[in-house]
A and B are shown apart, each in its own frame.
Chain A
Amino acid sequence: MDEILTRVLNAAQLAGASYADVRVVETVRQAILVRNGAVQGVSWTEDAGFGVRVVADGAWGFASSHRLEVEEAERVTKLAVEIARASALAKREDVDLGEPVVQRGSYRTPVQTDPFQVPLETKLDLLLRADQEMRRVRGVTTTEAELVFIRQRKTFASTEGSWISQEIVESGCGIQATAVRDGEVQRRSYPNSVGRHQQTRGWEFVTEQDLVGNAPRIAEEAVALLSADPCPEDVTTLILGGSQVALQIHESCGHAIELDRVFGAEAGFAGTSFLTPDKLGNFRYGSEVVNITADATLPGGLGTFGWDDEGVPAQRVDIVREGLFVGYLTDRETARQLLRLLGPSPYVTGQSNGTARASGWNRIPMIRMTNVNLLPGTWKLADLIADTDRGVFMDTNRSWSIDDRRLNFQFGCEIAWEIRGGKLTRMLRNPIYTGITPDFWRSCDAVCDADHWVLWGTPNCGKGEPMQVGHTGHGASPARFRNVRVFGKQ
């Protein structure tokens, strides 16, 4: 493998590239899905290849191949340089990466139990037992239980002198029960929806989730939802469960602070951002209890690593401090663009804060959320509910949608309870809430404490063309929001 890396860097320089980097990435993925008591699939995926990124004639080119052979490395490198020269036909200015980044080292996700050493029989037994517990509940029509394990080994090298090896391990799990009656379809998921919860940890992560222990509860809730009242339309106080707060952060903050998006790089697809550079350091994003960080150094997050895919070390940066918008996610190129635009300030350094990641060997690194977190507040959830006279408590995402500048959002949840007199009362089905991002976060008046804080994983974040599915982390605990429009499908 080292020969491929060296050959690429040499070939790129010989072909006239002023900068080149190469990543060799090998990924193994095991996925197990049990559905309605039967093993729907046990799959083992091996994926390997390399990607070459160059600057030539002041413009970017990238080419990649699954054939890990020296001759192919030469071909792909020449193609990357040719593509860069073609890009230069339509360039307005040269690529500016700032000072060279020279890093050498290695990083490995710390795991207590390597999930790939756990026998398949153990994994199947866990899923089948969880599935069985859900199917015991009368009225459940469909059940699913899932495990996913990923090990990615990647080596990055650049013409600036970086040489970095990393091994990232992820473990994910989830169960889901669906009940159907008279056209009404209700679903409950655990620990999170859209398949699963996931972290950069080992098998211990799975055992901690207690899928079997939670299976009867979520199955019973799915059935109970069929008979629940629809969520009434109201403007009211809303308390969100932690996983829904995590998704709210992801959609309304995480994407909005991607600086490539702010600068228009995603305008043709994912969109832009309302958090324009003129707002940096002076825009009230949320209330004073809202503190948001991007922290790639947090143990266990899906955005946790040693270095990003440009060789920049993992970092912790403030994004929102006591409600004030103070930081973006940057890569090397956008950090320089921001410096040129705004000049140096406490919020602008011209240095990447290390968020460029590629979904695989065949994709370029782009700004991706690391672990974008709402820092814990001071409340216990029970106290927060007791402190709320009228409102709705919603939990676990069911649908999510937000406009292309990340302002107008609408989220549906799987389940809700009405709050009356400081108590959770009747269950509500099909709950939905909607709002405008800064208005919503400014209405946040309470965040639960560290005892409720979970580093949630989002393993399905789409961005870029060709599409890249990124894995991001979001630490969050339940939080309360005032004057929110809620409603439900009848």
Chain B
Amino acid sequence: MLGEAKVRQLLQDALGRSRADQTELVLLSWDGALTRFANNTIHQNVAEHDAQVLVRVATGRRVGSAVTNRLDAGALDRAVSQAVAAAAAAPEVPDFPGLPDPQPVAAVHAFDEAAAAASPYWRARQVEELLRAARAEGAVAAGALATGVHEVAVANSKGVFCYHAGTRVNFSTVVRVDDGSGYAERAGWRLEEFDVVDLGRQALDRARRARNPRELPPATYPVVLDPYAVQDVVGWLTYAGAGALAVQEGRSWMNGRLGTRALSELVTVWDDGGDPDTIPLPFDFEGVPRQRVVIVDRGVPRGPVYDTQTAAREGKASTGHALPRAWPEAAAMGPVPSHVFLAPGDASVEELVRGLDRGLYVTRFWYTRLVHPGDCVVTGMTRDGVFWVERGEVAYPVRNLRFTQGYVQALASVERVGSETYLLGDRFGAFRVPAVRIGAFTFTGVTEF
């Protein structure tokens, strides 16, 4: 771990040497490890120590960028020079708003000493205990347990400096019993919140109940979605349509729906990178404090999240949702929500299932892809446990199904929302979501298992 003082010195020295009109430096550091298991044994076990500095410079309205993972002064100066050369060759960006000015950022504590100190032996012992339980039940377990420390810092030549260090823990497992399969996953930043063996038992129990699946014809059914599947629904809606660039270009599901009741009034979605109940990051990759943004309020889309450039186009202030703009791919995506919450309801999962007369209870979705952005139509498969429900009781497991479903329409027919939320990881943040019951969900195919 580099630490705030060293990072501040490193970035401010490099800023001081830059000859560009405006210079922005983003430092991303990761010191982490991951223990992976399959067939009831640890088969991959890795550690990584890396740190990158992302440079963005502007000469007038000409912008260039460069990235290096060498932190010595010479390498940083070379990266700045590369970015300056790129800017010199580039035409002007007509609506380049300039780098943001400094704003106060409220620090959020999300560093757990135990997570930072987790050793390969700690991870191996956790995994081995889970594997022992699986073997005792005739089950086969696979998955991964990851721990690590990330540091993010943003500094620019207008005086912005923000720094955040946090820990990350991720665990997921697929447990198989005969032809049945179950799943469990959690993300977080506190080690003590993780009970790997208990999560393994949840997956094992699901796998046992998923054995001997029957084939069900594809059709439109009511469904109860576990939080794993709900993350996919909320994830696509926010990733593909709740960023300002998508709305400005008319390719978001929000277009034409802003301010109208497009989703169930039980659906409230917000983004809050400063909430310690997620894996927080209190500022974005331009150094702007992340605002709490209500994206959907009781079924009414309220608006997208912004970075500096998309906000300037509308005469607004950034909400603090920029991705690292030195990566052209990220710049092309525009801002996206990355610390997403779906408001919980009042029901247990059992109560959600009890409310189904005839329908499906789905553990998770897999390999989902956007088919059409307008209604956020997505196709994908069910995976690791899908069950037929009759008169409020799980009747029997069924084979995995393919769905092709507008996620807007799915969330428009939410009937009830679960009270318990799971924190599930994402590249730059996390999702905290409950289970939901949906009135109509369209399945379009079935597979052989």
Contact = CB atoms under 8 A, between A and B. Distances in A.
| Chain B: interface size category | 35 or more
Interface in B207-248: none
A268 B448 contact: no
Given A48-B70, A268-B174, A402-B367, A144 B332 contact: yes
Contact of A62 (B47, B49, B249): B47
Contacts of B90: 39, 42, 124
A426 interface: no
B428 interface: no
Interface in A410-430: 410, 412, 430
A90 B37 contact: yes
A410 B332 contact: no
Interface stretch (A258-266, A292-300, A306-314): A258-266
A82 interface: yes
Contacts of B40: 92
A342 interface: no
A434 B172 CA distance: 30
B75 A267 contact: no
Most buried by B among A128, A263, A410: A410
Contacts of B43: 60, 265
Contacts of A60: 42-45
A64 B148 CA distance: 14
Most buried by A among B75, B146, B367: B367
Contact of A32 (B50, B51, B328, B377): B328
Most buried by A among B69, B78, B144, B446: B69
A386 interface: no
Given A399-B371, A408-B445, A267 B69 contact: no
A89 interface: yes
A38 interface: yes
Contact of A41 (B34, B174, B328): B328
Given A41-B327, A87-B42, A399 B379 contact: yes
Contact of A264 (B38, B125, B256, B444): B38
B249 A180 contact: yes
B366 A403 contact: yes
Given A44-B83, A401-B369, A401-B402, 19 more contacts: A35-B332, A42-B63, A43-B86, A44-B65, A45-B68, A59-B45, A63-B47, A64-B48, A64-B50, A83-B46, A83-B120, A86-B119, A89-B42, A89-B121, A185-B373, A266-B142, A268-B174, A412-B379, A489-B372
Nearest to A146: B328
A47 interface: yes
B381 A401 contact: yes
Interface string B103-134: 00000000000000001110111011001000
Interface in A27-44: 31-33, 35, 38-44
A66 interface: yes
Interface in B350-391: 366-375, 377, 379-381, 383
25 contacts: A42-B64, A59-B42, A76-B49, A84-B45, A87-B42, A87-B45, A92-B41, A120-B85, A124-B89, A128-B91, A180-B249, A184-B374, A185-B373, A266-B142, A268-B38, A268-B174, A271-B366, A274-B448, A362-B48, A405-B448, A408-B381, A410-B444, A410-B445, A430-B372, A465-B44
A436 B50 contact: no
A256 to B, nearest CB: 13
B325 interface: yes
Contact of A267 (B38, B328, B373): B38
Interface residues of A, number: 85
A150 to B, nearest CB: 13
A67 interface: yes
Contact of B41 (A80, A91, A120, A124): A91
Contacts of B42: 59-60, 86-87, 89-91
B83 A38 contact: no
A46 interface: yes
Per CB-CB distance, the 3 closest pairs between chain A and chain B, nearest first, are: A41-B328, A268-B142, A408-B447
B93 interface: yes
B251 A185 contact: yes
Given A33-B332, A407-B448, A268 B143 contact: yes
A33 B65 CA distance: 12
A489 to B, nearest CB: 5
B142 A489 contact: no
Contacts of A263: 39
Interface of B: 33-52, 63-70, 75, 78-79, 82-83, 85-87, 89-91, 93-95, 119-121, 123-125, 127-128, 131, 140-144, 146, 172-174, 176, 249-251, 255-256, 325-329, 331-332, 366-375, 377, 379-381, 383, 400, 402, 404, 444-449
A178 interface: yes
B65 A42 contact: yes
A90 B127 CA distance: 8
A399 B255 CA distance: 22
A466 B251 CA distance: 31
Contacts of A180: 249-251
A432 interface: yes
Given A79-B47, A264-B38, A465-B144, A89 B125 contact: yes
A408 B446 contact: yes
B45 A141 contact: no
Nearest to B126: A90
Nearest to B406: A489
Given A180-B251, A268-B36, A64 B49 contact: yes
Given A44-B86, A265-B38, A401 B447 contact: no
Contact of A268 (B37, B85, B447): B37
B379 A410 contact: yes
Nearest to A92: B41
A364 interface: yes
A346 interface: no
A49 interface: yes
Given A41-B327, A183-B256, A268-B173, A362 B50 contact: yes
Interface string A174-188: 000010100111000
Given A42-B65, A44-B79, A404-B381, A83 B125 contact: no
A401 B68 CA distance: 34
A483 B174 CA distance: 35
A481 to B, nearest CB: 16
Most buried by A among B33, B43, B52, B375: B43
